[in-house]
Amino acid sequence: MTFKEQIQQGIPEILPQPKPYEIEINHAPKRKEILSPDEKKLALRNALRYFDPKDHVELAKEFYAELNTYGRIYMYRLRPEYEMKARPISEYPGKSEQAKAIMLMIQNNLDYAVAQHPHELITYGGNGAVFQNWAQYLLTMKYLSEMTEEQTLTIYSGHPMGLYPSHKDAPRVVVTNGMMIPNYSKTDDWEKFNALGVTQYGQMTAGSYMYIGPQGIVHGTTITVLNAGRKIAKNKENLNGKLFVTSGLGGMSGAQPKAGNIAGCITVCAEVNPKAVQTRHSQGWVDEVVTDLNVLVKRVTLAKANKETVSIAYQGNIVDVWEKFDAQNIYVDLGSDQTSLHNPWAGGYYPADVDFEEAKNMMAENPELFKEKVQETLRKHAAAVNKHTAKGTYFFDYGNAFLLEASRAGADVFAPNGIDFKYPSYVQDILGPMCFDYGFGPFRWVCTSGKPEDLAKTDAIACEVLEEMAKSAPAEIQQQMQDNIQWIKGAQQNKLVVGSQARILYADAEGRIKIAEAFNQAIAKNDIGFVVLGRDHHDVSGTDSPYRETSNIYDGSRFTADMAIQNVIGDSFRGATWVSIHNGGGVGWGEVINGGFGMVLDGSADASRRLQSMLFWDVNNGISRRSWARNDEAIFAIKRAMETQPLLKVTIPNLVDDTILDNL
C-alpha cells in the first residue's frame, strides 16, 4: 500500500502482525500499578471497542499483557510501517488542505527526532501525549483524510469522537485533553483514568499538534538567560565567562544548552538519561558530554578562565553538580532547573544516589520508596542551591514545579513570610514584566512545503517586518524588538530545526499580524508554500498557571482560569483552523489550564481576514487581563492597542493610593 492508502484505511480490517519491542528506542517508563482487577477489565473493554469482535480474543490477551507490563495499553501492534515524520503537504491524502496541514503537524509531533517516547505517542515531558494509543492515531488520520471544509473533527483526550457538520469558518479540529472534574484531578486520579484509556495529559503543545522540537522553547530560554544576565552583569550585554547551571535535556529542557550558547555563557546541564544526552549531543544542541565530576570541574574552570561560550552536558544527577561546585568553590552566576517536576513520580525527576535503571524499576515496583527517594533528593537539591545563592548566585524557578515539589518535600525554599518562595519564577522576574505584559510571546510557523528555502524566505520576511516596525516602536519595547531581530537574523546559522521546517519568534499582536499577512501575500504570489501559524501555550493569554505564566498576576486572580477558556472560545469563532484546551501542561495536571490554536495560511482573502481577527484577539485577551491586574506594562500596552483599533474598548483599572488602605 502507498502512504496515502495506509492513511486512508485507518484501523486495518486484517490485523498486522505483532511488532517487536525495540530496545534502542527511548521508551516511556513503566507506569505504576493503579487499577483493580475489575478496572483492568474495564480498560480492556475500552481498548477493544476500536476493533471488530472477531479480533477481540487475540487482542484481549495482548492488551492485557501491555497493561501489566507497561501500565498502559499503547497497541504497539498498530504502529504504522511508514516513517513517522512531517511530509510536504502535497503528500497527504484529503479533500481539505487545512486537514492535510493538521496531519503534517501530528506526524511532526511523533517524529523520532522530535518525540521523547515516540512508540508511546509521547512528545515531551515524560507524559505529554499526542494520543493514548495507536488506534486513535490511525482513526484520526483517516478522519482527516476524509474531512471537507464543511466538517469539524472533535478529539476527546486523543480519541476522535467523529466528524460533525459545521462550516468553512469553523475550526477543522477541536481538541480537549485531561478535562477532569476538579475533584478528580489529582495525581492518582490522572494515573487511574489514563490507564483506563479515558483521558490523557496533552501537556502544552503535544496534544495540540504544535510542538516543533526544542526550538519551540529555545527562543524563550534565550531571552530568559539573556535578561537574567542583564540583571546581574555590570556590562549589560555581555555574559562571556558567566556560568549557568541547570538540568534536563528532554523535549523542552533540551533547549537550554543551545540557548546558553546563543546568549554567550558557559552552560552546564545535567541529565540522568543517557539516551536523552546522546540525542541532544548528536543533534548539536549541546557541545560536549562529561561523565566525571572531577573532569567537569576542570573543564568549567578552563572555560571560565578563557571566557568561552560552551555548553556541557553532565550525564548524572544535578544534585551532585551543585554539591561538587560548592565543595570546589566554582562560582555559579545563574542557576535554574528544567526537569519535569510536574511529573515527579513517573519519570520527571530522578533520585540521587540511585542508578538510573534501578530508579526506573523502583518507580514501577516500589512507588512509595521511589517517592521517598525523590523527596529526599529535592531537599538535598534545594539545600545545595541555597549554599550557592548565599554566595551570590541568581537562581530562578523555571516554572517546572521545582520549588512547588521541593516545598511539598519539606525543603527550605520559602521566604521569611512562610508563604512565598524565596526564589522568583522566571515569569515574575523576567518574561512577565518584560515580554508577556507587553504582548510579546512565542509566535510559531511551519512551512508545509518541507523546503528549507521556504523557511529561509519566511525568516527574511519576518526580519524585514520587524526592522520596519522598530523604526517607530516606542522606547518601552525597543529592547524586545532588537532582541527578536537579532534572533531571527541568527536563526539559520544556529541550526535550530529539528523535524519540520519551523521557526519561533517572540512578537506582539502587531508583529504577529504583520508577519502573518506578509506570509499570506507571499503564498498568494507562489513565492512560498502554505504556512501553519501557531504558538506555544506558554504565552501572553493562552495559559492560566499560577506558578508560571500568570505568576506575575497579583490581584488574586492567578488561581482562576477564565483567560485560557476565553482564549480558546474566542480563537474558535475568529478563524483558527484548530483549537485545543488542556488541563495540565508544564507544571502538572490540576495545576494549570492551557489553550492553543493552529491556523493555516493559504494565500487567500479568507486567510487574511481570519488572521487579522484571530491574532489580535489571541494576544489582547491576555494583555487585557494583565492590565486589569494592575500590571503597569500591560496597562501601557492595552492603551496603545486601543489607539490602533477603534473597536477595542477595554476596562482600565483605577489605582488606589496605598495610604488610604494603610490608614484604615
Residue 203 counted as an annotated binding residue: yes
Rounded Cα gap, residues 373 and 98, in angstroms: 48
Nearest Cα to 495, choosing from 280, 265, 221, 199? 280
Task: Enter the C-alpha cell of residue 656.
Answer: 488606589
Contact status, residue 277 vs residue 270, Cβ threshold 8 Å: no
Rounded Cα gap, residues 358 and 403, in angstroms: 26
Residues 243, 244, 247, 248, CA torsion sign:
negative
The runs of H, that is alpha helices, within 390-423 are 402-408
Residue 398 counted as an annotated binding residue: yes
Phi-psi region of 268 (alpha: psi -120 to 50; beta: other; left: phi over 0): beta
Task: Enter the C-alpha cell of residue 615.
Answer: 491574532
Residues 6 or more apart from 295 whose CB is under 8 A from it? none
Rounded Cα gap, residues 372 and 368, in angstroms: 6
Contact status, residue 102 vs residue 446, Cβ threshold 8 Å: no
Contact status, residue 597 vs residue 618, Cβ threshold 8 Å: yes
**Helix axis angle, 605-628 to 509-524, nearest 10°:** 170
Task: List C-alpha distances in Å: 431 to 201, 398, 424, 434, 444.
Answer: 25, 11, 11, 5, 17
The runs of H, that is alpha helices, within 366-419 are 367-389, 402-408
Residue 126 counted as an annotated binding residue: yes
**Helix axis angle, 215-232 to 478-489, nearest 10°:** 130
Nearest Cα to 219, choosing from 484, 476, 427? 484
**Annotated binding-site ranges for NAD(+):** 125-126, 203, 271, 398, 586
**Annotated binding-site ranges:** 125-126, 203, 271, 398, 586
